[in-house]
Amino acid sequence: MEESGTFCYQRGTVSVETKDLTKVYRVGTQEVRALQSVNFESEQGDFVVINGPSGSGKTTFLNLIAAIDRPTSGEVFIEEQATSRLSEGQLAKLRKETIGLIFQTFNLIPVLSAFENVEYPLLLQRIPRVQRRQRVAALLDEVGLADLGRRRPAELSGGQRQRVAVARALVAQPKIVLADEPTANLDTETGKRVMTLMRRLNKEHCVVFIVVTHDPVVTEYARRTVNIRDGRLEDGGSNVAAGSTA
Amino acid sequence: MWLRVPLRSLLRNRRRTALSIAIIALGTAISLFVLGFFADSTRSIQETTVQEFGTLQIAAKRFWDDTAEGYEYLLSQQDLAQVEAILDREDAVVSRSPQLSFSGLVASGNSTKVVRATALVPGNKTLDVNDLVVEGRGLEPTDAAAVLVGRSFAEQLQIRPGDVITLTVTTVDGAFNASPLEISGVYQFTSSQVESQQIYLPLQFGQLLLNTDGVDSLVVMLDDLDSTQPARARIQGGLDLSPSGLEVKTWDELSPFYEQLTGFFNALFGVVTLAVSVLVFFIILQVLTMSFLERTREVGTIRALGTKRGEVFRLFFAESFWLALLGSGTGIAFGVVLGLAFNAVGIEWQPPGTVEPVVLGIRMTVQTAWLPFVVSVVATLLSAIFPAVQAARLQVAEALRVT
């Protein structure tokens, strides 16, 4: 397993910020407080792991940062832009250009090949064909799948699918990558490989990685770990020994 | 993206896609078959009508609206010369022939029968009744007191070529006139009514019987049915330059039966197509709704990646568009094969009031194919709107939670 041991962290440049972020779900007559007044900040090039058990609110938190859900109250700032003021179209643009997403179950489009899955975000951005192909090929090479571009997701192993998903999250050169339980469906060894890859990419592309997980192994890769319980964040400290500032 | 993703999505559940294509294709083929049958029947009726009336007829307005006293409507030689001059300038005119129609009473032995007599120029190809002769011979330019009778008429009066009948008419002066006529031949027509009532004799002899040198109308044959309306407009324009009081009628105006029948065919085709389209609409709506619902999580994913609602709608709509094209295209191909097979079998049917059975046919042209094709495509696309809108309006976070 390759271990770079460094991050592309730049203190003072805030990429993601939440203020008093609250999300309440209504289940029948009951109100479920999934998040309660969460304040969070992540700076450029950060690699944050949000650790918590099932039902602690970590996926809800990630969805709010990813602008795919709206908070009950509070605010999310992405690159100093308040997402609550954005229309549906502007939110889609934000997700397309600024945020890369990695899902627990990979969520690749089954009818597209690995290459086409990675290419998809660039098609949305109407990047010219030649440039598109170069970027996809380079990223697939970077995640070690240069020879498997023609394969459909069903023809790939779990680890390979997650690497395709990582390449897809990075291809549009986002500033923030959000990963929801990226190792949950992988065996330990493959999970470690994917995390190593993500940390290498964090360093090389200087992209913020926010990873939510309940896998203790994942926390080893974090520059900073934050615990979440019952919808509240608790600072879990930094892996200072493993990380460094740029 | 608009080609690759939708087409591959169609291949994702091949059995369901095949079923959808089969449903659309069946609907399209049924519409094509029905329209092809009506088109073929209409074409046959057009040909029969033109054979009976010519493409155009020119006569006095009072002749058409039946307001003339006696034979006031007859065209003089001067009128004829004026019309001939106009027709000489019309390229679409293939032939023309004056004719004189009148009623009379035919007697043969102890039998008498009221008939409609048409006196025409023997040998003129405009309305060549000689082509219809099945017994004896046709009228020839040298014939004088000769007559062609219909097969039904001959059977009713038990007469045959060579026999002599007596025709009694009223002259233009109001006097009675009668003359023996030798039956030169017996003709057959599609309508038994025409066969039993209509007789043909040489124009000169008809004029002699009526004591006139006039005719009631000029029959015109054009090179193509499509020339009918433009030629009619030009000829009518020429006639209107002088106060002749003449009016041009087209073949379809001369046969009210034609308009009634085409109206009936159109209504029937509309009902069949509507029923088929509604059926296709609801079945495809059901299939697409299921298909799109199964991809809720996928929609959540592509929306999370930044795909706009409109783009999701377009993706799903494009999928339906390809489905519609494939289904309708297959339907046209299937309909053509079905039509060819039907035409090859040569099924016969005898319509009411006709003397001979006709071979039923399916007319397959671009004109009969495009309407069923377009109707099926539209029905399929309409059925896709609701599920595509539903897919586009999914909440991203909720869609991603669907397993």
Contact call for B306 and A89, based on CB within 8 A: no
Residue A245 pLDDT grade (very low, low, confident, very high; cuts 50, 70, 90): very low
Whole-angstrom CA distances from A157 to A51, A136, B9, B159 are 26, 20, 22, 95
Contact call for B304 and A68, based on CB within 8 A: yes
Q: Each residue of B36-66: pLDDT tens digit?
A: 998 888 888 888 888 888 999 999 988 888 7
Q: Write the CB contacts of B400 (distance below 8 Å, at least 6 apart in sequence).
A: A63, A68, A103, A107, B297, B300, B301, B304
- The residue with greater pLDDT, A205 or A60, is A60
**Contact call for residues A155 and A178 (beta carbons, < 8 A):** no
Summary mean pLDDT of chain A: 85
Contact call for A103 and B11, based on CB within 8 A: no
For residues B114-136, average pLDDT: 89
Task: Write the single-letter amino acid at A86.
Answer: L
Contact call for B305 and A66, based on CB within 8 A: no
Residue B74 DSSP one-character state: P
Residue B76 DSSP one-character state: P
ipTM for the predicted complex comes to: 0.87
Q: Is residue A80 predicted with pLDDT exceeding 70?
A: yes
Cβ-Cβ contacts under 8 Å, B395 against chain A: 69
A110 touches chain B (CB under 8 A): yes
- DSSP for chain A, written as a single string: --------B-TT-EEEEEEEEEEEEEETTEEEEEEEEEEEEEETT-EEEEE--TTSSHHHHHHHHTTSS--SEEEEEETTEEGGG--HHHHHHHHHHTEEEE-TT----TTS-HHHHHHHHHHHTT--HHHHHHHHHHHHHHTT-GGGTTS-GGGS-HHHHHHHHHHHHHHT--SEEEEESTTTTS-HHHHHHHHHHHHHHHHHHT-EEEEEES-HHHHTT-SEEEEEETTEEEEEEE-TTT--B-
Kindly state the tokens that stand for A135.
């970027």
Count the helices and strands in chain B (H runs, E runs). Answer: 14, 12
pLDDT at B370: 92
Q: Distance between CA atoms of B304 and B302, rounded to whole angstroms? A: 5
Please name the residue of chain A whose CA is at the shortest distance from the CA of residue B2. A123
Contact call for B305 and A96, based on CB within 8 A: yes
CA dihedral A61, A62, A66, A72 (to 10 degrees): -20
Q: Distance between CA atoms of A174 and B242, rounded to whole angstroms? A: 84
Q: Is residue B336 predicted with pLDDT exceeding 90?
A: yes
Whole-angstrom CA distances from A234 to A181, A216, A244, A246, B140 are 19, 16, 22, 25, 115
Percent of chain A with pLDDT over 70: 90
Of A141-145, B179-183, B329-333, give the lowest mean pLDDT range.
Answer: A141-145
**Contact call for residues A51 and A225 (beta carbons, < 8 A):** yes
**Contact call for residues A164 and A155 (beta carbons, < 8 A):** no
pLDDT at B208: 94
Q: Is residue B398 predicted with pLDDT exceeding 60?
A: yes
B14 touches chain A (CB under 8 A): no
B393 touches chain A (CB under 8 A): no
SS3 per-residue string spanning B331-354: HHHHHHHHHHHHHHHCCEECCCCE
Q: Is residue B257 predicted with pLDDT exceeding 50?
A: yes
pLDDT at A7: 67
pLDDT at B352: 64
Contact call for A103 and B8, based on CB within 8 A: no
Q: Each residue of B187-231: pLDDT tens digit?
A: 998 788 889 999 999 999 999 999 999 999 999 999 888 889 999
Q: What architecture is the A43-73+86-238 domain classified under in CATH?
A: 3-Layer(aba) Sandwich (3.40)
Q: Distance between CA atoms of B349 and A167, rounded to whole angstroms? A: 70
Q: Distance between CA atoms of B148 and B138, rounded to whole angstroms? A: 7
Q: Is residue B69 predicted with pLDDT exceeding 80?
A: no
Q: Is residue A243 predicted with pLDDT exceeding 70?
A: no
Please name the residue of chain A whose CA is at the shortest distance from the CA of residue B393. A88
Domain ranges of chain A: 43-73+86-238
**Contact call for residues A69 and A60 (beta carbons, < 8 A):** yes
A88 touches chain B (CB under 8 A): yes
- DSSP for B185-242, written as a single string: EEE--SBHHHHHHEEEEEHHHHHHHHT-S-BSEEEEEES-GGGHHHHHHHHHHHHHTT
Q: Write the CB contacts of A14 (distance below 8 Å, at least 6 apart in sequence).
A: A41, A42, A43, A44, A77, A80
For residues B101-130, average pLDDT: 89
Q: Is residue A195 predicted with pLDDT exceeding 90?
A: no
Cβ-Cβ contacts under 8 Å, A109 against chain B: 5, 298, 301-302
B309 touches chain A (CB under 8 A): yes
Q: Each residue of B19-39: pLDDT tens digit?
A: 999 999 999 999 999 999 988
Kindly state the tokens that stand for B225.
């049915």
User: Coil, helix or strand for B168?
Assistant: strand
User: For an interface test with A, which of B314, B400, B401, B402 has the most A Cβ atoms less than 10 Å from its Cβ?
Assistant: B400
A120 touches chain B (CB under 8 A): yes
Kindly state the tokens that stand for A82.
């308040």
Crossing angle of the two packed helices B256-293 and B296-304, in degrees rounded to 10: 80
For residues A146-172, average pLDDT: 91
Q: Is residue B322 predicted with pLDDT exceeding 90?
A: yes
pTM for the full model? 0.74
Q: Distance between CA atoms of B384 and B388, rounded to whole angstroms? A: 6
Percent of chain B with pLDDT over 90: 56
Please name the residue of chain B whose CA is at the shortest distance from the CA of residue A168. B305
Strands A30-43 and A47-51: unpaired
Residue B131 DSSP one-character state: G
Cβ-Cβ contacts under 8 Å, B308 against chain A: 88-89, 92
Q: Is residue A236 predicted with pLDDT exceeding 80?
A: no
Give the distance from CA B98 to its chain's centroid: 26
Q: How far is B314 from chain A (nearest CA, A)?
A: 13
Q: Which helix (H) or strand (E) holds B5?
A: helix B4-12
Q: Is residue B116 predicted with pLDDT exceeding 90?
A: yes
Domain ranges of chain B: 4-49+258-401, 54-254
A111 touches chain B (CB under 8 A): yes
Q: What is the largest CA-CA distance in chain A?
A: 55
Q: Each residue of B284-296: pLDDT tens digit?
A: 899 889 988 889 9
Cβ-Cβ contacts under 8 Å, B12 against chain A: 110-111
Q: Distance between CA atoms of A245 and A45, rounded to whole angstroms? A: 9
Q: How far is B399 from chain A (nearest CA, A)?
A: 10
A82 touches chain B (CB under 8 A): no
pLDDT at A222: 87
For residues B262-276, average pLDDT: 89
Residue B355 pLDDT grade (very low, low, confident, very high; cuts 50, 70, 90): low
Residue A244 pLDDT grade (very low, low, confident, very high; cuts 50, 70, 90): very low
Q: Is residue B100 predicted with pLDDT exceeding 90?
A: yes
pLDDT at A183: 85
For residues A196-225, average pLDDT: 87
Q: Distance between CA atoms of A169 and B47, rounded to whole angstroms? A: 70
pLDDT at B347: 85
Whole-angstrom CA distances from A86 to A83, B344, B392 are 5, 67, 18
Cβ-Cβ contacts under 8 Å, A66 against chain B: 304
